[in-house]
Amino acid sequence: MPAHAQHAPQARATWDPAALDTLLRIGREDQAGREQLARAAATQDTAVIFATLRADSVRTRWVRGAVAARGWPARSRVGAEAQGAAWYVVQHSPDSAWRAAMVPTLERLAEAGELPRGDVAALADRVAVHRGQPQRYGTQFDVVEGRLVVAPVADLAGLDARRAAVGLMPMAEYVRLLAARLGLPADWPPRP
């Protein structure tokens, strides 16, 4: 092999139709179990919780490998649905190190218009909450005694302004919609 060929960058695989079909299927699977998961958390149904965590782990391995081989499935290349499927997997991944590592990449893509800024805000919130830090956008909740409780938020007074800046709806409206969708009561505003 010539010396110059040893250092030539390797071409990345593309998001071919088979890979996109798998990504879309994985995204549908991720979303199918989410509402069931919230109800399982409220009733402490560990069978559903552990099954979801196993499935999240399998989806994470596939998407992490696909992204490493092909790059992030940018909206302009694969469409909003496929890009959204990849984001769901990152957001719900049990691999907290990978989630955190993806934030800068997804921030750059959001700045370029390839990903909704609200998606990056939700991922950054999840990373912060996992690290025991307050979230900035109020996207993360816990289920406590059968109720949705927002995880701690930094600067509650500026919350709706930050949410608006990244394209998220006002917090009170979001809490109402989330509670209705999950069929769980919610505490908002937070109790002192």
Instruction: Judge if 21 and 110 occupy the same domain.
Output: yes
The values of phi and psi at residue 115, to 5°, are -155, 140
pLDDT at 8: 41
Q: What is the mean pLDDT of residues 108-133?
A: 96
Q: What is the mean pLDDT of residues 121-146?
A: 96
Percentage of the chain exceeding pLDDT 70: 93
Say if 39 falls within a structural domain: yes
Quickly tell me which residue has 């469409």 as its tokens.
Answer: 79
Contact between 30 and 88 (Cβ < 8 Å)? yes
Say if 192 falls within a structural domain: no
Tell how strand 147-150 and strand 141-144 pair up.
antiparallel
State the pLDDT confidence band at 11, using cuts at 50, 70 and 90.
Answer: low
Q: What is the mean pLDDT of residues 149-161?
A: 96
Mean pLDDT, the chain, rounded, equals 90
Instruction: Judge if 31 and 87 occupy the same domain.
Output: yes
Q: Which of 73, 98, 115 corresponds to the end of one domain?
A: 115
Q: What is the mean pLDDT of residues 60-65?
A: 97
* 63: nearest Cα among 81, 80, 86: 86
User: What global pTM score does this model have?
Assistant: 0.86
Instruction: Judge if 22 and 111 occupy the same domain.
Output: yes
pLDDT at 156: 94
Say how far apart CA 22 and CA 114 lie, in whole Å.
21
Say if 11 falls within a structural domain: no
The total of structural domains in the chain comes to 2
pLDDT at 190: 83
The values of phi and psi at residue 149, to 5°, are -130, 125
Contacts of 40-45 spanning 24+ positions with Cβ under 8 A: 41/143, 42/143, 42/146, 42/147, 42/184, 43/146
Say if 129 falls within a structural domain: no
Q: Domain of residue 158: give its range.
A: 141-184
Say if 43 falls within a structural domain: yes
Instruction: Judge if 110 and 22 occupy the same domain.
Output: yes
Instruction: Judge if 111 and 145 occupy the same domain.
Output: no
pLDDT in tens, 34-55: 877 777 877 888 998 899 999 9
Q: What is the mean pLDDT of residues 65-86?
A: 95
Strand order across the beta sheet in which 186-187 lies: 141-144, 147-150, 186-187
pLDDT at 67: 96
Contact between 74 and 105 (Cβ < 8 Å)? no
Say if 170 falls within a structural domain: yes
Instruction: Judge if 89 and 51 occupy the same domain.
Output: yes
Residue 90 predicted with pLDDT over 70 = yes
Say how far apart CA 87 and CA 76 lie, in whole Å.
15
The Cα diameter of the chain in Å comes to: 69
State the pLDDT confidence band at 133, using cuts at 50, 70 and 90.
Answer: very high
* 43 vs 71, residue with greater confidence: 71
Say how far apart CA 190 and CA 152 lie, in whole Å.
9
Span of 15-24, 44-53, 101-110 with lowest mean pLDDT: 44-53
Burial class (CB in 10 A: 0-12, 13-18, 19+), 139: buried
Instruction: Judge if 152 and 100 occupy the same domain.
Output: no
Q: Which residues contact 112 (CB under 8 A, 6 or more apart)?
A: none
Instruction: Judge if 49 and 90 occupy the same domain.
Output: yes
